[in-house]
Structure 1
Amino acid sequence: MAGGSGGALAVDAEVVIVGGGIAGLATALALRRVGVGGVLVLERHSELRATGAALTVYPNGWIALRALGVAHKLTSRYEGCGIFRVTDLENGETKVFRFAGRESSDEIKVRPADRKALLEALAEELPPGTIRFSSKLVSINTETAKSSPETAVLRLDDGTVIRAKVLIGCDGVHSVVARWLGLSEPVTSGRSAVRGLAVYPDGHGLKKEVWQFLSEGLRAAMVPINNTEVYWFLVNNTVAAEKEARTDPVKILREVTDNLGRHMPPDYLDVVRHSSHDSLSWVPLLYRSPWAILTGPTARGPVTVAGDAFHPMTPDLAQGGGSALEDAVVLARAMSRAATPAEGVAAYVSERRGRAALLVAGAYLSGWVQQGGTDVQGLRGCMVKLFRDWIFYKYIFRRLAGMMWYDCGHLLPPTSNEKGKNHSE
């Protein structure tokens, strides 16, 4: 590290990760696990920021967390959920699904978790100074010295200039790094999601199950995280009221209870009314075209993207967090095995493109069908619902659920006597 001209700070780093969310922290930790030093995480906020309050982590996410060495820190705090109840509010019918395990490990289950707890579990494993807060990236360039590999040159809003041998964009849906690479912008799904965390100081008394409710143009769910907190969401076809209400917690709650969700069961509305105001959000659901993920410029030399910056998807398979954790493990493993950073990045992209595109397509299909189509009415709407009830849930949903058991593998190559065995803490 050295001072630059005009008083600007100049920093050299082996790897710079833009974004201190799940993807960024997991990638930093994965690289540390394979022995990569000099990793710097740039987070534009002043502290770890947990947008979304909570998330449901499926087996593929826990397998990745186990490879990262932090799964045990969270599974001891959050119980597993094995029963999913889906109620069609238009006819009152409830379907019950059991999420049976493929692995005889108590650790590998579906578990809701507090998003901030996950971020803290990852951050605690990183050396002090790894995360640089209040660091907003404003521009990216590259430079190539004679007989030296390409270097990424980053400029921050405070004038700092950082030179990095590897640049990984984990900066979310509106990624600066993805835009620099030339990836297409995410597009709207025509739907939005309200999310919140209900708090019951004396306990909520709900069973440890996932409840989902469907009605025309709506999909809502609630799941207890522990004895006092319940995570809930409501996905709706985008409405005009959203723009005005999304920054005002009181208006968000009023819109859900008095308008969008007025036909929801009393138990669900009670959960909504118990929401902590600082946990509420209402955002449009965006995704990147699967074709763009398969064919787009997701890497350039030693520069690539991970998590939502790579494959933003709708939350209908609850795979945003899990897929980001997978990315981290695969990327670090590829980097540890490659002769050069650019080769490692290329190997990572090659391995992840197909699965990422499949997850994005599966999530979009799942959400669109379960809500009865987006702004689809009349005969077409009836056909979508028949497809949902008679084909989707019986055949397609089970295949989509199978994708949630994906094993991203070890971070380090197994020794000869470990081949075929699952990694353990």
Structure 2
Amino acid sequence: MARTVIAGGGIGGLAAALSLHHSGIGDIVVLEAAQRIEPLGVGLNILPNAVRVLRDLDVLDKLTAQAIQTSELRYYNCHGDLIWAEPRGVAAGYVVPQLSIHRGDLHGVLLAAVRERLGSQAFVNGAAITGVAEDETGAHVRVEHADGTSSMISGDLVIGADGIDSAVRTALWPGGGAPVRNGVVMWRGTSWTEPFLDGRTMIVSGDDVRRIVLYPIRADDKSGRVMVNWVAAQPAPGGIPPRTGGPSDLGRLSSSFAVWNFDWLDISAIIAASEQVHEYPMQDRDPLPRWTSGRVTLLGDAAHAMYPMGSNGATQAVMDASVLARALAEHDSFDDALLAYETERRPITTELQIKNRSMGPEAVITVAHERAPHGFANVNDVFTQGELAAISQKYALAGNFDIDSVNRRTGPGVSPEARRTT
């Protein structure tokens, strides 16, 4: 039985381990650099194409017990004028929901499933990848352990799922350089607040330079309150370079986001209620001409880090994991399997990387500001009939998460015997 080494124990790496196991590949080890596994991060929005994969991996029930099933997506200008609204998940006709969830909750469910199904030895933390090599015996990763020792761990296949600063990607593309920044700073936080709209709606609002995204990710049945994930973005204030990540001070953004004027939602109060705010530069990676070298391939942000538009970060990592597992199950040779995986996935993610550099579907907010900077009474005075729906549908098709693509296919990443139709 082939041995697979997965570098990175985040969402993509754990989804890959579960997908491979579900496809009949049992000898797997996941190597995670972090010494302690804690429920870190803020919110994620998982689109139905990835949720269907998670359903096929039999973790959806545990996720829905902790997540919010997103019902609608709404775009507003900063005056509170509604630009576009569309149903999401089951409300839109998908066979599975769209999930808004705390990253720590999603990671915890996936990690528990990996340990239960593959054994505790399959997940090794405190194991940082520092190099990758290949020879006639297989693929090998050099690992620095938390106790200061180092070792070589070998397998028939190495999957680099170790994020935007991937050591595996660097080994394959040593001249790749640093991630590409666009001068925009993002602040992220979570706040407990009263539900807005129906309590399950995702909001994106802004003008030509600012953006804010808000959506609930947890509900407290006792108090009736919800935890709201929020992400605010704007060019670096005062020309001050963005921090590389970590805790931030609200003074860096609060004055800029005081321009929001919704009579039904106090956005400034939601930001101020956050116990901790983190600051990050908006950055991505240039698309690669290939992800694979011999028995080493890439997945998730290691392969195609993109700007956070359209809820496609974790979603596309889960889809990578699923398609890779299916390809390995369906092909007799690693060469054929990895070629099939990359042929299917790389064009999709490359197009999303490019589209997200132009703000993806959120570009409608910029267009609305350019056409009506002081707001509008009727959106039909700003956009032609069908223009907004066409933008949304085109992006969904590019990401392969349109209704037809999700509802009509059998679940990817599973063995032919285990597949099921809707």
Which TM-score bucket, shorter chain as reference? 0.7 to 0.9
Q: Is the Cα–Cα contact under 8 Å of residues 188 and 286 in structure 1 kept in the other structure?
A: yes
Matching residue of 2:222: none
Say whether residues 1:74 and 2:68 are aligned partners.
no
Find 1:231's aligned residue among 225, 229, 235.
229
* Conserved? CA contact 1:75–1:107, under 8 Å: no
- Give secondary structure in 1 for the equivalent of 2:56: helix
Q: Are positions 1:369 and 2:358 aligned together?
A: no
**d(CA) in 1 for partners of 2:294 and 2:272?**
50
Structure 2 counterpart of 1:321, which letter? A
1:42 paired with 2:38, answer no
Q: Structure 2: how far apart are the matches of 1:330 and 1:319?
A: 16
Instruction: Say which of 57, 65, 78 aligns to 1:89.
Output: 78
Following superposition, the deviation at residue 197 of structure 1 comes to 0.9
* Deviation of 1:85 (Å): 2.6
Equivalent of 2:312, from 319, 329, 333?
A: 319
Matching residue within 73, 98, 105 for 1:110: 98
| 1:398 matched residue in structure 2 | 393
Deviations 1:25-66 (A, max 9, x none): 110111111121221111111233555411111211211211
Contact 2:326 2:414 in 1 (8 A): yes
Contact 2:244 2:281 in 1 (8 A): no
What is the SS of the residue equivalent to 1:40?
strand
Percent identity of equivalent pairs: 23
What's the counterpart of residue 212 of structure 1? 204
Q: Is the 8 A contact 2:67 2:101 kept in 1?
A: yes
Asked if the contact 1:242/1:282 (under 8 Å) is kept, the reply is no
- From 386, 411, 414, give the equivalent of 1:412: 414
Distance 1:246 1:179, change over 3 A: closer
**Deviation at residue 389 of structure 1 after TM alignment:** 4.9
Q: Which residue of 1 aligns with 2:152?
A: 161
TM-score (norm. length: structure 2): 0.81
Compared CA separation, residues 392 and 96, structure 1 to 2 (3 A): closer
Match of 1:263 in 2: 259
Q: Is the 8 A contact 2:191 2:229 kept in 1?
A: yes
1:335 lines up with 2:328 in the alignment:
yes
Residue 168 of structure 2: aligned partner: 177
Q: How far is 1:95 from its partner?
A: 2.4
Matched-pair contact (CA < 8 Å) for 1:52–1:195 = no
Deviations 1:215-272 (CA, angstroms, capped at 9, x unpaired): 23011121122233111111212343454695443x1x222212x3121246111111
Q: Match of 1:352?
A: 345
Change over 3 Å in CA distance of 1:233–1:104 after alignment to 2: closer
Unaligned runs of 5+ in 2: 220-224, 375-379
Aligned to 1:125: 113
What is the root-mean-square deviation of aligned Cα atoms in Å?
A: 3.2
CA contact 2:143–2:150 (8 Å) conserved in 1: yes
Contact 2:247–2:279 (8 Å) recurs in 1: no
Q: What's the counterpart of residue 304 of structure 1? A: 297
CA offsets 1:74-96 (integer angstroms, 9 cap, x no match): 12333322222322125x52124
TM-score normalised according to structure 1 size: 0.81
Single out whichever of 156-165 and 171-180 deviates more from structure 2.
156-165
Greater shift in the superposed pair: 78-87 or 53-62 = 78-87
Q: Distance in 2 between matches of 1:245 and 1:168?
A: 26
**Is the contact between residue 55 and residue 113 of structure 1 (CA under 8 Å) also seen in structure 2?**
yes
SS at 1:124 equivalent: helix
Paired residue total = 386
Per-residue deviation at 1:338?
2.1
Match of 1:254 in 2: 251
List alignment gaps of at least 5 residues for structure 1.
1-12
CA displacement 1:285-313 (0-9 Å, x = unmatched): 22233xx33xx231011100100001111
Task: Tell me the distance in 1 between the aligned counterparts of 2:356 and 2:181.
Answer: 14
Partners of 1:180 and 1:136 in 2: CA distance: 14
What does residue 138 of structure 1 align with? Answer: 130
CA contact 2:321–2:413 (8 Å) conserved in 1: no
- Residue 20 (structure 2) aligned to one of 31, 44, 47: 31
Return the alpha-carbon distance in structure 2 between the equivalents of residues 354 and 332 of structure 1: 18
CA-CA distance at 1:341 after TM superposition: 2.8
Partner AA of 2:50 in structure 1? G
1:17 alignment partner, SS class:
strand
Q: CA deviation at 1:137?
A: 1.2
Letter matched to residue 267 of structure 1: D
